[in-house]
Structure 1
């Protein structure tokens, strides 16, 4: 069995954007949502900027009990899942719940709640010995990442395969790739899939400070994220989530669903090289791209737009550029490339799904979002990175890629709905 898989619903919570329309308005205007960290005093830290989501859980419809029980990242995921199901118009209760599954990605899971509870138990780090008398009754939920997809399953009534995918910064791509595979092989008919992360906490900020991965442009937060720019000096930490409804093509067509795109191909590889280092030739990402295109039965010339990982570190930007040249050949120079991290920052495990959402919106609007803050060229990054201003562009096929610590390299090919229905 090798069924075709399409995306029919989408929910997004991103910096500067609550929902699909706001998200696309932000991207297409080239606005940045990066700012000085407001969740805590960032003064002691090397990098003091981030891309925060203005999220009000109560206003989003979560009950007081849900808000108390769920970590912030889980709240994002549940809200996005509900929005995606509503957007798809699907009646999950009409079918078998055993044929509906969940595949969710996250890199740092309940980091927000874990740090908050540690501060309570330790009296803000002043006590080494901590009493369980002050332990939250929901601490177990925060310690077990699998509670996050379980919460979505409870919210939508999914009794099929439920999985937590945690592959660092490729988690958002890998979770959707896993969901598509389950539908293709017949293990599920419908999957609720995406990713969420809320890593803007002192401990996560300190960790990235220690390896100097994040930017020090603290005096200019709006222009701190500079993918592919010659003056970049690290990424901007962010939070966010995006969740989708994936289903088998025939059932989606029969019920008259709006189809955003077909998941034409997906592949992931690992460089087996270094926890944070990348080889300069981009070979592993290039191989993932080659396999994903092969699954979609497409050639490099068929790719209309590349949604890049584009983190804003020299190592990543150059590695990724090399991978595009290696996998697409001469077509790499003719295909527009952009990084939305220039506008919404890097939400770690969530970003792959947030970038899928951006890719779907690019296809919906026949336009390519820009790479904001790109003003100084880097001789080793010599492709068309769509600087600063969105571009009208015929977009039937999008290649979206991710790169993560541990050496993970993932690629997904999305094709236009009319291609899926042919």
Structure 2
């Protein structure tokens, strides 16, 4: 019998705000919540954005979700570029002697002047690059809430933005869990823990690979941090080194826009097999950069201002509605790029009950399939048909046919591109038809948050856990109707929020499609169904004991929430603390004891193969 991977905590930061406390989810469905929940989330956003107490509700909310690009990231009206020109023969320029190239370019003749200056005469026509600016054709993005800067909350030391978001997001998941982590480590050995987290795009801003590649071309120096901090798996490394102090398994599994679900699959398999008892799964992505926008835009993948104007019948002088730039399953023109950092804490069912952890749901399975032979590396293929069908079949196997047909819903990839609306709706419609599902509820939260590339699956999971908590599935409110080429005979593609009782939402399919044929679909189980399964396996007494222990966990969660609101809680960043080396460990031929952990690393290993 496999162990069940239980989701015991979530944390992070997205354009909707802080993930913990369900605030990120609540921002999506704010108007459907009762008054106190609305007030709490608006206050959480105000604090996150560092706004005065008398700031209006409208002003607080205006700096969230998809919106026009703000200048704190870069000025989209004046992006720095170099324009290629040609200096004609006989051109003369005056330079500081300190700035004179060495060796001199061919055809340069120099003459010393007063004041440390040099006159240069160019005897041959020569190409040159001169600084200038251009205006971006893309001006909408899903940005973190205005005024929120994760790197200012700890000693970031020139960390790339994605890594600063990792520190905040993973700290939020751990802090909001309500778990005594030092006490928890007394129940575990170092190899009971794993961290799977990364970034599909890597760290591409100036403090990471972006700066390393740009520096010399910009006349600057490469720093000693840009290369090592740029690695895609550095998100996991930071969690191990500065947040958890973990010596367990680590890494990331890359799958383009399905990367979060690839990491989730690793965590699922580790817990289900019994190899690990605690796994942190996440992704952190900060792709809102001029170069990345230009790359996707050149592919024709991003929606431009001009395309939105054409869709809405606006003149060239009118501003488009940037907040409605992402329109899944409607008449659309491309996706909207976004940044996000999302993390889950997974435990096996026995450990979760033993410590009284929260039960937000469970990960039943994650299915991954490639596309096979392709016409284009970016075009969708057959693989996503397999992942969705397999996830639906697993839902039927676990909860029964009635649950799949009447108590399940889908968080679609829903990018907002013309190609996605056709292919994904066809996949979901075909699956619903063959499994006898009618009016299958389909949501697409990129309509609010944009597409955060590798972290997008985390955004979908965040919205799913919230729907189970509050009974509201976010609708796609950026569209006025479905496009004519969308397949929806057996689907209910939600254009408004859908209220459903927890008993009506046993199963959720999280779908992701990535460039190159990276398809993944996760099957999540609701907290109600998860508790039923735990009761069946562990019995009444174990569940009663869990309930009692969960009371102290709830108290710690409330304390964390208060700390976030009064700004007394900062991200965990333990730089240089508790550093271990070989002399810190106690070795024998059958175990290794590590300070801080209650159980040793077992060296009494069995041959996993066969005797010879």
Q: TM-score, normalised by structure 2?
A: 0.63
Residue in 2 that maps onto 1:37: 69
2:184 is equivalent to residue 101 of structure 1: no
Q: 385, 390, 405: which one pairs with 1:301?
A: 405
Kindly state the Cα deviation for residue 180 of structure 1 after the two structures are TM-superposed.
1.0
Kindly state the Cα deviation for residue 119 of structure 1 after the two structures are TM-superposed.
4.1
Contact 1:265 1:293 in 2 (8 A): no
The structure whose RCO (Cα within 8 Å, separation 6+) is larger is 1
Mapped partners of 1:35, 1:268: distance in 2 = 33
What is the number of residues matched between the two proteins?
406
- Post-superposition CA distance 1:340-365 (Å, at most 9, x none): 00000000001111211111111111
Residue in 1 that maps onto 2:524: 414
Residue in 1 that maps onto 2:137: 46
2:350 is equivalent to residue 250 of structure 1: yes
Kindly state the Cα deviation for residue 86 of structure 1 after the two structures are TM-superposed.
2.0
2:147 is equivalent to residue 147 of structure 1: no
Mapped partners of 2:430, 2:510: distance in 1 = 16
Alpha carbons of structure 1 residues 146 and 46: separation in structure 2 relative to 1, 3 Å:
same
Mapped partners of 1:166, 1:412: distance in 2 = 16
Mapped partners of 1:307, 1:97: distance in 2 = 35
Kindly state the Cα deviation for residue 233 of structure 1 after the two structures are TM-superposed.
0.6
2:441 is equivalent to residue 336 of structure 1: yes
Residue in 2 that maps onto 1:2: 2
- Higher Cα Rg, which structure: 2
Mapped partners of 1:419, 1:389: distance in 2 = 23
Alpha carbons of structure 1 residues 37 and 10: separation in structure 2 relative to 1, 3 Å:
same
Mapped partners of 1:8, 1:359: distance in 2 = 14
Mapped partners of 1:16, 1:257: distance in 2 = 26
User: RMSD in angstroms over aligned alpha carbons?
Assistant: 2.1
Mapped partners of 2:496, 2:164: distance in 1 = 32
2:471 is equivalent to residue 371 of structure 1: no
Q: Secondary structure at the match of 1:306?
A: strand
Gaps of 5+ in 2: 32-60, 78-134, 309-318, 536-612
Kindly state the Cα deviation for residue 142 of structure 1 after the two structures are TM-superposed.
2.8
Gaps of 5+ in 1: none
Kindly state the Cα deviation for residue 256 of structure 1 after the two structures are TM-superposed.
1.5
Kindly state the Cα deviation for residue 277 of structure 1 after the two structures are TM-superposed.
0.7
2:223 is equivalent to residue 136 of structure 1: yes
Q: Quick check: 147-156 or 379-388, which moved more?
A: 379-388
Q: Secondary structure at the match of 2:157?
A: helix
Q: Secondary structure at the match of 2:246?
A: coil
Residue in 2 that maps onto 1:315: 419
Q: Quick check: 159-168 or 134-143, which moved more?
A: 134-143
Mapped partners of 1:207, 1:378: distance in 2 = 27
Q: 312, 316, 326: which one pairs with 1:225?
A: 326
Mapped partners of 1:310, 1:99: distance in 2 = 36
Q: Secondary structure at the match of 2:508?
A: strand
Mapped partners of 1:101, 1:69: distance in 2 = 27
Residue in 2 that maps onto 1:165: 253
- Post-superposition CA distance 1:227-255 (Å, at most 9, x none): 111x2111111000110100101110122
Q: TM-score, normalised by structure 1?
A: 0.90
Q: Secondary structure at the match of 2:150?
A: coil
Kindly state the Cα deviation for residue 118 of structure 1 after the two structures are TM-superposed.
4.0
Contact 2:212 2:227 in 1 (8 A): no
Contact 1:373 1:388 in 2 (8 A): no
Mapped partners of 2:362, 2:333: distance in 1 = 36
Q: Quick check: 27-36 or 15-24, which moved more?
A: 27-36
1:18-417 equivalence runs, <5 A: 18-20=18-20, 21-29=22-30, 33-38=65-70, 39-43=73-77, 44-54=135-145, 55-58=148-151, 61-63=153-155, 67-90=156-179, 91=181, 92-94=184-186, 95-112=188-205, 113=207, 114-123=209-218, 134-154=221-241, 155-216=243-304, 217=308, 219-229=320-330, 231-272=331-372, 273=374, 274-279=376-381, 283-296=382-395, 297-298=397-398, 299=401, 300-301=404-405, 303-329=407-433, 331-381=436-486, 382=488, 383-393=491-501, 394-417=504-527
Contact 1:266 1:295 in 2 (8 A): no
